[in-house]
């Protein structure tokens, strides 16, 4: 299996962690989605028309969403994960769905724009440029529907990041995270019993993101969830999955 992923990408982290925790061997192909923007290349569009990471490829089979990579990992992990327990599965599925309704992008960039003023000019400029390039590309592309969807998405991002009150919008995202965290079961070893579950995977990546953007304070110190995350960070798969706990701009510049 080949996992096309970007080191700093939240959903790539879910893909990496899920596969590693399920002991599924894969080859990692690191993508540069920030500087050369490899997600827009023709060769990558042929693999994933949505132009997002992660993408998992296995002998002609392609998974273009971290949700699907997570599901596949849970299936292949079988009884090693709590997802295989029918008593847990409905709650696991509900929480995974709730996790995916949090806008990680608005949370991450929203926080960055509040704390790093030059980004208030740079991010809209970068989005304008992406839209312009996509508008040129759409003219003779066979992937025009997906490119149009990407243009629309970037217009939406542009509006979000240039209009309204930044602090109020960040507060909305913080509240969404809090609402999710409050729904989690109190961890006993893992979140659903002794075994790992899909909810542990997405929550570990979410906690990592909160650390990275300086919002880990949303989790009470020494609470069961804080203890659970501290233990989770000791896991070998967590370390190998390269979950960013701090922002590493040099790696972005060096495309690693």
Ligand X SMILES: N[C@@H](CCC(=O)N[C@@H](CS)C(=O)NCC(=O)O)C(=O)O
**What does the per-residue mask of binding to ligand X show for 44-73, with x meaning CB under 6 A?**
-------xxxx----------xxx------
Going residue by residue from 1 to 20, which x/- string records binding to ligand X, judged by CB under 6 A?
A: --------xxx---------
- Please give the Cα distance from 186 to 40 (Å, whole number): 42
DSSP notation for 6-66: -TT-HHHHHHHHHHHHTT---EEEE--SSSS-GGGSHHHHHH-TT--S-EEEETTEEE-SH
Please, what is the minimum distance in Å from the beta carbon of residue 5 to ligand X?
9
Between residues 31 and 219, which has the closer beta carbon with respect to ligand X? Answer: 31
Binding string, 128-157, against ligand X, x = CB under 6 A?
------------------------------
Among 7, 39, 45, 73, binds ligand X (CB under 6 A): 39
The answer to whether 69 and 28 are in contact (CB under 8 A) is: no
Please identify, using beta-carbon distances, which residue of 187 and 208 lies nearer to ligand X: 208
Choose between 54 and 208: whose C-beta lies nearer to ligand X.
Answer: 54
Question: What six digits make up the tokens of 140?
Answer: 């003779």
SS3 label, residue 5 = strand
Number of alpha carbons in the 13 Å side-chain half-sphere of residue 110: 23
Residue with smaller CB distance to ligand X, 54 or 110: 54
Is the distance from CB of 25 to CB of 73 less than 8 angstroms?
A: no
> Cβ of 66: how many Cβ atoms within 10 Å?
28
CB of 6 to ligand X, least distance (A): 6
Closer to ligand X by CB, 177 or 195: give it. Answer: 177
Task: Please tell me whether residue 38 binds ligand X under the rule CB under 6 A.
Answer: no
Task: Give the nearest distance from C-beta 96 to ligand X in angstroms.
Answer: 11
CA 190 to chain centre: 21
CB of 226 to ligand X, least distance (A): 25
Q: Which is nearer to ligand X, 107 or 195 (CB)?
A: 107
Q: Which of 22, 33, 95, 113 binds ligand X (CB under 6 A)?
A: 33
In the complex, minimum distance from the CB of residue 224 to ligand X, in angstroms, rounded to a whole number = 27
Burial group, residue 243, by CB count within 10 angstroms (0-12, 13-18, 19+): buried
CB 43 within 8 A of CB 51: no
Q: Which CB atom, from 18 or from 170, has the smaller least distance to ligand X?
A: 18
Report the sign of the C-alpha dihedral through residues 235, 204, 70, 78, in that order: positive
Q: How many residues bind ligand X (CB under 6 A)?
A: 12
Residues that bind ligand X (CB under 6 A): 9-11, 33, 39, 51-54, 65-67
């Amino acid at each position: 299996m080949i996992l096309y992923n970007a080191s700093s990408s939240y959903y790539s982290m879910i893909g990496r962690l899920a596969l590693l925790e399920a002991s599924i061997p894969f080859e990692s192909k690191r993508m540069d989605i920030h500087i050369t923007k490899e997600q827009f290349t023709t060769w990558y569009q042929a693999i994933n028309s949505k132009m997002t990471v992660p993408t998992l490829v296995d002998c002609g089979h392609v998974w273009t969403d971290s949700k699907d990579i997570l599901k596949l990992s849970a299936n292949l992990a079988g009884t090693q994960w709590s997802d295989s327990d029918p008593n847990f599965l409905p709650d696991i599925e509900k929480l995974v769905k709730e996790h995916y309704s949090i806008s990680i992008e608005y949370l991450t960039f929203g926080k960055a724009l509040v704390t790093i003023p030059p980004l208030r000019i740079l991010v809209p400029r970068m989005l304008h440029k992406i839209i312009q390039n996509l508008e040129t590309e759409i003219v003779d592309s066979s992937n025009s529907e997906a490119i149009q969807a990407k243009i629309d998405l970037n217009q939406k991002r542009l509006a979000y990041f240039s209009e309204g009150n930044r602090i109020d919008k960040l507060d909305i995202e913080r509240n969404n995270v809090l609402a999710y965290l409050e729904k989690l079961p109190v961890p006993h070893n893992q979140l659903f019993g002794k075994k790992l579950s899909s909810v542990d995977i997405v929550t570990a990546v979410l906690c990592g993101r909160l650390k990275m953007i300086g919002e880990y304070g949303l989790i009470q110190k020494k609470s069961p969830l804080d203890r659970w995350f501290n233990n989770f960070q000791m896991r070998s798969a967590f370390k190998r999955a390269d979950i960013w706990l701090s922002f590493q701009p040099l790696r972005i510049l060096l495309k690693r």
